Structure 1
Amino acid sequence: MSKEPWGSWVPVDQGDWNRLGRALSPLIPLAFAGLFVKVPVAVRRGRRNSGQMVAGSSA
Protein backbone atom coordinates (compact mmCIF):
# COMPACT_ATOMS: atom_id res chain seq x y z
CA MET A 1 0.00 0.00 0.00
CA SER A 2 1.08 3.53 -0.61
CA LYS A 3 0.11 6.68 1.21
CA GLU A 4 -1.28 9.51 -0.89
CA PRO A 5 -0.21 13.09 -0.09
CA TRP A 6 -3.54 13.87 1.60
CA GLY A 7 -3.26 10.95 4.00
CA SER A 8 -5.41 8.07 2.68
CA TRP A 9 -3.97 4.67 1.83
CA VAL A 10 -4.39 3.20 -1.66
CA PRO A 11 -3.33 -0.22 -2.96
CA VAL A 12 -0.33 -0.09 -5.29
CA ASP A 13 -0.72 -3.40 -7.10
CA GLN A 14 -3.71 -5.71 -7.22
CA GLY A 15 -2.38 -8.16 -9.82
CA ASP A 16 -2.81 -11.91 -9.67
CA TRP A 17 0.84 -12.55 -8.77
CA ASN A 18 0.61 -10.09 -5.89
CA ARG A 19 -2.52 -11.76 -4.52
CA LEU A 20 -0.91 -15.19 -4.89
CA GLY A 21 2.20 -14.00 -3.04
CA ARG A 22 0.14 -12.57 -0.20
CA ALA A 23 -1.85 -15.80 0.02
CA LEU A 24 1.25 -18.01 0.12
CA SER A 25 3.44 -15.80 2.34
CA PRO A 26 2.16 -17.34 5.61
CA LEU A 27 3.32 -20.74 4.36
CA ILE A 28 6.98 -19.69 4.11
CA PRO A 29 7.64 -19.73 7.89
CA LEU A 30 5.79 -23.04 8.14
CA ALA A 31 8.02 -24.51 5.43
CA PHE A 32 11.16 -23.40 7.30
CA ALA A 33 9.80 -24.82 10.56
CA GLY A 34 9.13 -28.14 8.84
CA LEU A 35 12.63 -28.17 7.39
CA PHE A 36 14.23 -27.50 10.77
CA VAL A 37 12.21 -30.35 12.27
CA LYS A 38 12.67 -32.84 9.44
CA VAL A 39 16.45 -32.58 9.04
CA PRO A 40 17.42 -33.35 12.67
CA VAL A 41 14.90 -36.20 12.79
CA ALA A 42 16.37 -37.69 9.61
CA VAL A 43 19.92 -37.33 10.97
CA ARG A 44 18.93 -38.97 14.24
CA ARG A 45 17.24 -41.86 12.44
CA GLY A 46 20.33 -42.30 10.28
CA ARG A 47 22.57 -42.53 13.34
CA ARG A 48 20.23 -44.95 15.06
CA ASN A 49 19.99 -47.22 12.01
CA SER A 50 23.73 -47.09 11.27
CA GLY A 51 24.43 -49.46 14.16
CA GLN A 52 22.08 -52.10 12.82
CA MET A 53 23.35 -54.76 10.48
CA VAL A 54 21.93 -55.22 7.03
CA ALA A 55 19.87 -58.40 6.66
CA GLY A 56 21.91 -61.22 5.17
CA SER A 57 25.31 -59.82 6.07
CA SER A 58 27.69 -61.74 8.28
CA ALA A 59 29.85 -60.26 11.00
Structure 2
Amino acid sequence: MARGNQRDKAREKNLKKLADQKGGNNLTGSQLAKAKEDAAAIMRAKQAAANEKKSGGAAK
Protein backbone atom coordinates (compact mmCIF):
# COMPACT_ATOMS: atom_id res chain seq x y z
CA MET A 1 0.00 0.00 0.00
CA ALA A 2 2.94 2.34 0.53
CA ARG A 3 3.70 2.33 -3.18
CA GLY A 4 0.28 3.79 -4.02
CA ASN A 5 0.90 6.68 -1.64
CA GLN A 6 4.31 7.25 -3.20
CA ARG A 7 2.71 7.51 -6.65
CA ASP A 8 0.14 10.00 -5.39
CA LYS A 9 2.81 12.16 -3.78
CA ALA A 10 4.95 12.08 -6.94
CA ARG A 11 1.92 13.04 -9.04
CA GLU A 12 1.13 15.99 -6.75
CA LYS A 13 4.74 17.16 -6.81
CA ASN A 14 4.85 16.99 -10.61
CA LEU A 15 1.57 18.90 -11.00
CA LYS A 16 2.87 21.62 -8.69
CA LYS A 17 6.12 21.86 -10.67
CA LEU A 18 4.24 22.18 -13.97
CA ALA A 19 1.95 24.86 -12.53
CA ASP A 20 4.98 26.88 -11.39
CA GLN A 21 6.55 26.67 -14.86
CA LYS A 22 3.44 28.02 -16.61
CA GLY A 23 3.21 31.18 -14.50
CA GLY A 24 6.33 32.86 -15.86
CA ASN A 25 5.11 35.82 -17.93
CA ASN A 26 2.57 38.29 -16.54
CA LEU A 27 3.04 41.08 -19.11
CA THR A 28 0.56 42.05 -21.80
CA GLY A 29 1.68 42.36 -25.40
CA SER A 30 2.23 46.12 -25.29
CA GLN A 31 4.05 45.91 -21.95
CA LEU A 32 6.30 43.17 -23.30
CA ALA A 33 7.07 45.20 -26.43
CA LYS A 34 7.94 48.26 -24.32
CA ALA A 35 10.16 46.19 -22.04
CA LYS A 36 11.99 44.77 -25.06
CA GLU A 37 12.44 48.24 -26.57
CA ASP A 38 13.78 49.61 -23.27
CA ALA A 39 16.27 46.73 -23.01
CA ALA A 40 17.33 47.28 -26.62
CA ALA A 41 17.89 51.01 -25.99
CA ILE A 42 20.08 50.22 -23.00
CA MET A 43 22.10 47.73 -25.02
CA ARG A 44 22.52 50.22 -27.89
CA ALA A 45 23.84 52.80 -25.41
CA LYS A 46 26.28 50.27 -23.94
CA GLN A 47 27.45 49.27 -27.41
CA ALA A 48 27.97 52.91 -28.40
CA ALA A 49 30.00 53.50 -25.25
CA ALA A 50 32.10 50.40 -25.92
CA ASN A 51 32.72 51.46 -29.53
CA GLU A 52 33.69 54.96 -28.38
CA LYS A 53 36.07 53.52 -25.81
CA LYS A 54 37.57 51.17 -28.38
CA SER A 55 38.09 53.88 -31.00
CA GLY A 56 39.43 56.33 -28.40
CA GLY A 57 41.89 53.72 -27.10
CA ALA A 58 43.15 52.90 -30.59
CA ALA A 59 43.83 56.59 -31.38
CA LYS A 60 46.19 56.94 -28.42
Tell me the TM-score normalized by structure 2: 0.44
Q: Which has the higher contact order (CA 8 A, sep 6+)?
A: 1
In terms of fraction of residues, the more strand-rich structure is 1
TM-score, length-normalised on structure 1? 0.44
